[in-house]
Structure 1
Amino acid sequence: MTVPADHARRLGRYEVTSSGGERVRAFIPPPLPPVPPINIGPLLGLLDRANQALGRLDGVASILPDTSLFLYMHVRKEAVLSSQIEGTQSSLSDLLLYEAEEAPGVPLEDVRAVSSYVAAIDHGLARLKEGFPLSLRLLREVHGILLAHGRGETQDPGEFRRSQNWIGGTRPGNAVFVPPPPREVMRCMGDLEGFLHAPTPEIPLLVKVGLAHVQFETIHPFLDGNGRLGRLLITLFLCEQGVLRDPLLYLSLYFKANRAAYYEILQAVRETGDWERWLDFFLTGVMETSTQAAAAARLILALFDADRRAIEALGRPAASALRVHQALQARPLITIPLAAQMLGLSRPTVASSLSHLHDAGIVREITGRQRGRAFVYDRYLALLNEGTEPLRRT
């Protein structure tokens, strides 16, 4: 790739190191912010539209009857999508079956990895609410939970790597990209932490987190889980900075849909210093994802309202059925024992309510069994499922 003259100072350096018995060129990025500074001018229109879309998404939280219910499913959708980018084959339905302890036929190792991602998100956000800073310590804590189960549990969860990793290829010698040598990781991450906390009024927050995401992915500080944690870093930063009151922005659907461009543009930043191209891609993703998420929230609200009115028309059974409907908003795939436990109702009452909801076309029974039945809130799950089909392995 050709490097524009004014971008040459933005380039990192290569260090020849030995890994796996062969000599490789490991890339060490310069610290942020880029020098010369980002040319914000051509991006201002897009930045304004992204900020407006993000503001509308944040405003959706104020019209939701119960933000926690929406967040509960939103976080799970993000966990599925982000994990799929890394190669898991689990769907949102698989995760919900697993959490309902009804998991026959689902890829168990994959779904455990997705479940760990949910726990990692929850932990990171809880720590921020406690006033804990977005720091290297917190990133290590979140990483430790992220890799607690599944394929990554042998890859030093919660610890910066002490050996060379690589991206693409079968070994460092034929890799697409080789991140910094292990001895440089702590220094690079320390610089990144300093940038996150430094007062930079000249750099808009969306631009700042876009820069930080690429830097994290370039350092690749862990043996595994870097992609998932790098995407989660975006949401954690925006929540810490007060841009979002609730963790409603997740870019994995956009990155998944534009996977080839995402990786190609990340590499172009390293090779040519073209941060502006990356920021155009990133801000477009923020704008599109925020718009889609706000629209989905409104569709979900309309669905809940229409179904609530249909349930109220049931007459005497309506009271219990409405409570079960509320449980389904949190768990769109549910069993009778789980609903009874959630609501403090008897199992016969829950079974009767689910039967009424089934007759009204609101839920569908998915096991075909007389015992151990499971019910799915079909139209709600369909809205949530958009874009969560697993990527085909190549």
Structure 2
Amino acid sequence: MSRQITAIWQGNPDAYGPRKYRRPCEYTAYLPDLLSAHPLDFSAELTADIADTERALAAFGGPGEHHLEQLARFLLRAEAVASSKIEGLQVNSRRLARHEAKVAAGAQGEDATADAVLGNVHAMDYAVQSVAMLDKVEVRDLVEIHRALMEHSDQPEIAGQIRTKQNWIGGSNFNPCQAAFVPPPPEHVEALLEDLCVFVNRDDLPGTIQAGLVHAQFETIHPFADGNGRTGRALIHVVLKRRGLAKDFVPPISLALATRAAAYIDGLSRFRYVGAPGSEPASSGLRDWLDLFLSATRRATADAAALQSRLTDLETGWRAALSPRKGSAAERLLPELIGHPVITAEDAMRLTGSSRSAAFTAVETFVSAGILSPVGSQQRYRLFEAAQVFQILTDYERASATESGSTRGEQPKRAVPYRQNRS
């Protein structure tokens, strides 16, 4: 039975901060039921929503004309950027791509926020390419996702470390007594994570429901000192890929959740009922959360399918304009620009498997055609970017930040990139 646990925060009279925050105070932590305790009884309406969502994922995940690997890489980064934005890490995709290309080329990185978001890219990639492929997911695998996320952050000491102290969300930085939510005390975390992994490894319930409940439970446990939201959203894609619902793509569900941020927080709050797992508060709380999660997944999938269409059209236009010789470095590089919209000449060599002279010639060809443009005046680590890719991504992010899917009659509901002058 889930319950609230009342405890006393001892306080520290020698700590920094106002006196009122240094005194002892009472707080309430939440201890959820094990996921295995939930009797999952789906209504006809919820069952229909599950079917609609899984059909949408199956249709989007099918083979198309576009280069699947490059679109998958593109979408994974869009998801990582969106998931980071929910946590207040504001980096647009162009800035991240430039930073990633500089780091890959060996240039000194000086963008701590972009480094943090790049850590989320690494965590997402590790989650979907490694953890999702395991026969059995264990607690240590969740820890490794967190390690990939945090090891290059400004808090590398907490990377892959399950918390041993009480944490909280909201309120003050000094104590949990005015917090919006206090997760389970640390002595309960290991058992809750073990149960979570048992639930991840099930295959006897719809994968979308499994992904939604795993995410909500993980956010409720909040097992790390930081990085819980981003790790928990990576777990959504671990489940979807394990269950065969998103084998080739990562639908950017975080974009849809970020657009409905208040509803997202409220849905997680309603998931945290008090009482027996079969009670009405439990059933209605789970149902409300799953309604939101399923609708966000459908919206993310529809938006990503529209994005796929625009990127396919862009690549087709490039190919028609260039008519690259079959087997040439230019032909091999062209589809790679979707997943790598900022490159160095050395990247062109690596991506095409071509000689230095052939790769440099391909880059020069794209620059002459207006497909690539040089960034800045620095000769060493010279970057070239496909600006049209970022124009499409900007339109996509702006549209996904509205309820209607269009910014023509509706302003974005969250921070989004500005459109660049396209003259």
Match of residue 182 from structure 1: 186
Match of residue 196 from structure 1: 200
Q: Mean Cα displacement is larger for which, 204-213 or 319-328? A: 319-328
Deviation, structure 1 residue 179: 0.5
Q: Distance in 2 between matches of 1:20 and 1:107?
A: 40
Q: Which runs of 5+ in 2 are unaligned?
A: 12-24, 274-280, 402-413, 417-423
- Equivalent of 1:329 in 332, 338, 349: 338
Is the 8 Å Cα contact of residues 170 and 179 (structure 2) preserved in structure 1?
yes
- Equivalent of 1:138 in 126, 138, 141: 141
Residue 115 in 1 paired to residue 125 in 2?
A: no
SS in 1 for 2:223: coil
- Equivalent of 1:158 in 160, 173, 179: 160
Q: Distance in 1 between matches of 2:392 and 2:70?
A: 15
Residue 363 in 1 paired to residue 353 in 2?
A: no
**Alignment TM-score, normalising by the size of structure 2:** 0.80
Is the 8 Å Cα contact of residues 15 and 26 (structure 1) preserved in structure 2?
yes
Match of residue 3 from structure 2: 13
CA displacement, residues 44-73 of structure 1 (integer Å, 9 cap, x when unaligned) = 3322211111111111xx224532222222
Is the 8 Å Cα contact of residues 329 and 358 (structure 2) preserved in structure 1?
yes
Q: Distance in 2 between matches of 1:247 and 1:232?
A: 13
Q: Which runs of 5+ in 1 are unaligned?
A: 1-10
Deviation, structure 1 residue 27: 0.4
Is the 8 Å Cα contact of residues 132 and 238 (structure 2) preserved in structure 1?
no
Deviation, structure 1 residue 180: 0.4
Is the 8 Å Cα contact of residues 214 and 266 (structure 1) preserved in structure 2?
yes
Amino acid at match of 1:138: D
Taking a change above 3 Å as real, the CA distance of residues 344 and 318 of structure 1, as seen in their structure-2 partners, is: closer
Deviation, structure 1 residue 302: 1.9
- Equivalent of 1:387 in 357, 375, 397: 397
Is the 8 Å Cα contact of residues 116 and 152 (structure 2) preserved in structure 1?
yes
- Equivalent of 1:31 in 27, 31, 34: 34
Q: Distance in 2 between matches of 1:325 and 1:152?
A: 38
Q: Distance in 1 between matches of 2:230 and 2:71?
A: 21
Taking a change above 3 Å as real, the CA distance of residues 149 and 106 of structure 1, as seen in their structure-2 partners, is: closer
Match of residue 250 from structure 2: 248
Match of residue 6 from structure 1: none
Deviation, structure 1 residue 226: 0.7
Match of residue 405 from structure 2: none
Is the 8 Å Cα contact of residues 349 and 356 (structure 2) preserved in structure 1?
yes
- Equivalent of 1:208 in 207, 210, 214: 210
Deviation, structure 1 residue 92: 1.3
Taking a change above 3 Å as real, the CA distance of residues 205 and 373 of structure 1, as seen in their structure-2 partners, is: closer
Q: Distance in 2 between matches of 1:330 and 1:268?
A: 38
With a CA cutoff of 8 Å and minimum separation of 6, indicate the structure with the bigger relative contact order: 1
SS in 2 for 1:151: coil
Deviation, structure 1 residue 224: 0.9
SS in 1 for 2:168: coil
Q: Distance in 2 between matches of 1:192 and 1:350?
A: 48
Residue 148 in 1 paired to residue 151 in 2?
A: yes
The 5-angstrom pairing of residues 245-394 of structure 1 reads 245-271=247-273, 272-273=281-282, 274-312=285-323, 319-345=328-354, 347=356, 349-368=358-377, 373-385=382-394, 386-387=396-397, 391=415
Q: Mean Cα displacement is larger for which, 74-83 or 33-42? A: 33-42
CA displacement, residues 298-340 of structure 1 (integer Å, 9 cap, x when unaligned) = 221121112111111x7x8994433342442331111223323
Is the 8 Å Cα contact of residues 328 and 377 (structure 1) preserved in structure 2?
yes
Amino acid at match of 1:279: L
Q: Mean Cα displacement is larger for which, 88-97 or 102-111? A: 102-111
Deviation, structure 1 residue 284: 0.5
Match of residue 77 from structure 1: 78
SS in 1 for 2:367: helix
Taking a change above 3 Å as real, the CA distance of residues 211 and 101 of structure 1, as seen in their structure-2 partners, is: same
Is the 8 Å Cα contact of residues 209 and 234 (structure 1) preserved in structure 2?
yes
